[in-house]
Amino acid sequence: MTGPSDGTFGAGVPMVLAEDVHKSFGHLEVLDGIDMAVLPGQVAVLLGPSGSGKTTFLRCINHLEKISGGRLSVDGVLVGYRQHGDKLYELRDREVAERRREIGMVFQSFNLFPHMTALGNIMEAQVQVLRRSRGASREKAMALLERVGLADRATYYPSQLSGGQQQRVAIARALAMDPKLMLFDEPTSALDPEMVGEVLDVMRDLATAGMTMLVVTHEIGFAREVADTLVFMDGGQVVESGNPRDVIAHPQHRRTKDFLSKVL
Amino acid sequence: MTTTDGSVTDRVVPIKAIPVRHPGRWVAVVILLLLAAMAAHSLITNPKWLWGTFSQYLFTDVVFQGLIKTVWITAAAMAIGIALGIVLAVMRMSPNPVVKTVAWLYIWFFRGTPVLVQVVFWAYLGQLYRYLSLGIPFGPEFIFFRVNDLIPVIMAAVLGLGLNEAAYMAEIVRSGILSVGKGQTEAAEALGMRRITLMRRIVLPQAMRIIVPPTGNEVISMLKTTSILVVIAVTELFTTVQNIYNDNFEQIPLLMVASVWYLVVTTILSVGQFYLERHFGRGVSGTQRIRRKLQMEVPHRDGAI
C-alpha cells in the first residue's frame, strides 16, 4: 500500500485500488498478489525488469486483461465485475465499454487509426462513443492538438507524422474522452531518443494539471521529477514502493538495487 | 566537385554510362509480333469465323437485353454476397459460440455444394414446397404464399448465386479482418467502443484494403458464372446467344459476341477496382502524395477526416 509522498491521505477513495491481484496465463503466474493504491491527482510510475508484470497490471485496470484473483477497483468501482451481496457478476460488454470511457490509455506502439487524420483520430470516439456533435468534437480535438503542440498537423495521416508526434496525438485522443485516469504503457519505448523529450513534456504538463496517472516507463529521470510514487515490481510482485527520490537513492531491496544499477 | 576538365564547380555532374543492353527483349518482341500477325491473318482469312454474323449480332437489341440482365444479376448477387459475407465474417469471429457455429455451418454448406445445384434448387423450390406461410410453428398461419409467385426464376438465380457467393465473401472479409493488427482493436476498446462500432469504424475500413482485390476477382468471376443460368433458362447474355445459335447454327461468331461483351464489362470493372483500391489505401504509403497535395489546397475540410 502506498500513500502519497507528502502524507496527506485525505482525498477519499483511491483512483486505483488493487488488493491481492493475481493474473495467470495458463500456468504462468504473471501477477502474484499486487497491492497498490493510487490517489486522485497522483502520478505513480511502475518500474521493473521486463516480464515483471507491469504492463499486464496496467492492462488489467481497463479490463484489456481479466484478473484471476483479488480485487481491483477504479474510483471505488470494481473492474470487470459487479458485486451483489457476496457474489460477483461478470459485466456485459456494454458495461465494460462504458467504464473504459473514463480511463485513457496510451500504448507503446501508439495504435493510432491509420485511415484517419490526426484530427479524425481525436474526434472518432467523441462522436461514436460519447455522442458529441461533430462540431463540438472538432473544437475539442483542435484544442487538444494545440495543447500537445500539433495544431498544424491536424489534417496529417499518422504515417505522415514522426513517432513522437504520433504519440502526442495518441495522448490527445485519450484526453478527448475527459478521462479521470490515464494509463501509459511504455509511451516512449518505441521512440527515437530525440523524440522522447517531447512526449515526456506533454506528460509532465498533464501531471502538473492534476491528472491521475499510472505510467510504466524506464525513464528514471521522469520518475524522479514527476512521480509522487515509484513502484518497483519484479516477478509479478511489488518489491518496494515509495517516494521516487528515496527509492532511487536508497533502494531497500537487493532486486531493486540490481535493477537500478543496470539502468542508471 | 571535380569535373572532367579539372575545374571545380558546385554542380553535381550526372554519371554518363552506357546502360545494360537487353537484346533478348527485342528478339522476344519480334517473335511475339510475328505470332500476332499470324493470328490476325488467320482471323481475317478463315471464312469460318463468320465475322459478318458477328457484326450483325454484336449491337442487336436482344443481345443488349441479355447483357443488361447479366449485369443486373451480377450486381444483385454480389450485393447479397458482400452484405451477407460481412455479416457472416463478423459472426464467425464473434465470441458468442452459437453465432459462431451458425456462421461456420452456413459457410460449410454453401461452399461445399456446387453453385449449379444451388441455383437449380432455388428455381425448383416450388416443386419441393408449393406454399410458404408465416405463423406460429405447428400452430396457426397468418401469411400465405405460393412459392412460385414469391420466387420467380430470376429471383431464384439471384438468390442461388448471392447466397453461394456470401460463403466465399465471408472468408475474404475474415482474412481482411485478421490482417488488421490487434493494437487497433485494443486502442478502440480502450476508448470505450463496443464491438459493432469498432468493426464498422476501425477494423473494416482498414480491412477493405485487403478485401477489395479478391472481391474484384469475385465480381468478375460472378459476371461469367451467370452463364450457368442457362440451365434454368434465364435469358442473360449467354442464354441469349445460345438461343440465337440454336436457330442459325453459327456458334462461333455468337460465342465471340458474348465474349466481347464479357470482356468489355470486365474492363470497366477493373477500372472501378483501381479507384476503390486507391480510396481504401488512404493513410498508407503510396497514396500519401496525392493526399498531402489535397490537404494543402483545402485545409480543415470536412471530408479530409
- Cα dihedral across residues A127, A132, A135, A139: positive or negative: negative
C-beta neighbour count of B34 within 10 angstroms:
10
Please, which residues bridge with residue A37 across strands? A17
Looking at the partner chain, which of A62, A98, A114 has a beta carbon nearest the beta carbon of B284? A114
Confidence (pLDDT) at B137: 78
C-beta neighbour count of A205 within 10 angstroms:
13
Cα angle B151-B154-B155, degrees, rounded to a multiple of 5? 40
Confidence (pLDDT) at B299: 43
Looking at the partner chain, which of A62, A107, A120 has a beta carbon nearest the beta carbon of B305? A120
Helices (H) and strands (E) in chain A, counts: 9, 12
Confidence (pLDDT) at B175: 95
Model confidence, pTM: 0.80
Among B85, B299, B286, B305, residue whose Cα is nearest residue B204: B85
Confidence (pLDDT) at B133: 73
C-beta neighbour count of B104 within 10 angstroms:
14
Q: How far apart are CA A94 and CA A35, in angstroms?
A: 28
- Strand A43-47 relative to strand A69-74: parallel, antiparallel, unpaired? unpaired
- Count how many pairs of residues, chain A against chain B, have C-beta atoms within 8 Å: 92
Is A61:A72 a contact under the CB 8 Å cutoff? yes
Please, which residues bridge with residue A44 across strands? A214, A229
Confidence (pLDDT) at A8: 45
Q: What is the mean pLDDT of residues B139-149?
A: 73
Residue of chain A nearest B305, judged by CA positions:
A120
pLDDT tens-digit series, residues B21-69: 999 999 999 999 999 999 999 989 988 888 988 989 889 999 999 999 9
**Angle formed by the axes of helices B51-58 and B237-248, nearest 10°:** 130
By CB neighbour count within 10 A (0-12 exposed, 13-18 middle, 19+ buried), where does A209 fall? exposed
The helix (H) or strand (E) run that includes residue B79 is helix B61-92
With cut-offs at 50, 70 and 90, classify the pLDDT of residue B295.
Answer: very low
Judged by average pLDDT, the poorest of A74-83, B130-139, B286-295 is B286-295
Q: How far apart are CA A227 and CA B142, in angstroms?
A: 70
Confidence (pLDDT) at A263: 82
Please indicate whether, in this complex, the C-beta atoms of B282 and A115 are within 8 angstroms of each other: yes
Three-state DSSP at A184 gives strand
Does A113 touch chain B if contact means CB atoms closer than 8 Å?
A: yes
Q: What is the mean pLDDT of residues B283-292?
A: 52
- Strand A43-47 relative to strand A213-216: parallel, antiparallel, unpaired? parallel
Give A102→chain B minimum CA distance, Å: 8
Which amino acid is it at B11? R
Residue B153 has pLDDT above 90, yes or no: no
Task: For B141-159, give the DSSP string.
Answer: EEEEEEHHHHS-HHHHHHH
Cβ neighbours of residue A101 closer than 8 Å, sequence gap 6 or more:
A129, A130, A177, A179, B191, B192
Please indicate whether, in this complex, the C-beta atoms of A159 and B285 are within 8 angstroms of each other: yes
With cut-offs at 50, 70 and 90, classify the pLDDT of residue B177.
Answer: very high
Does A161 touch chain B if contact means CB atoms closer than 8 Å?
A: no
Cβ neighbours of residue B285 closer than 8 Å, sequence gap 6 or more:
A159
Residues of A in contact with B190 (CB under 8 A): 62, 64, 100, 103-105, 107, 174
C-beta neighbour count of B76 within 10 angstroms:
17
Three-state DSSP at A159 gives helix
Low-confidence spans in chain A with pLDDT less than 50 = 1-10
Confidence (pLDDT) at B8: 53
Q: How far apart are CA B156 and CA B79, in angstroms?
A: 15
- Cα dihedral across residues B189, B195, B198, B203: positive or negative: positive
**Angle formed by the axes of helices A193-208 and A163-175, nearest 10°:** 20
Q: What is the mean pLDDT of residues B80-99?
A: 94
C-beta neighbour count of B256 within 10 angstroms:
19
Residues of B in contact with A119 (CB under 8 A): 305
Q: What is the mean pLDDT of residues B169-187?
A: 95
Looking at the partner chain, which of A97, A116, A157 has a beta carbon nearest the beta carbon of B192? A97
Q: Given the C-alpha cell 451483489, which residue does it identify? A: A84
Residue B1 has pLDDT above 50, yes or no: no
With cut-offs at 50, 70 and 90, classify the pLDDT of residue B138.
Answer: confident
Residue B129 has pLDDT above 80, yes or no: no
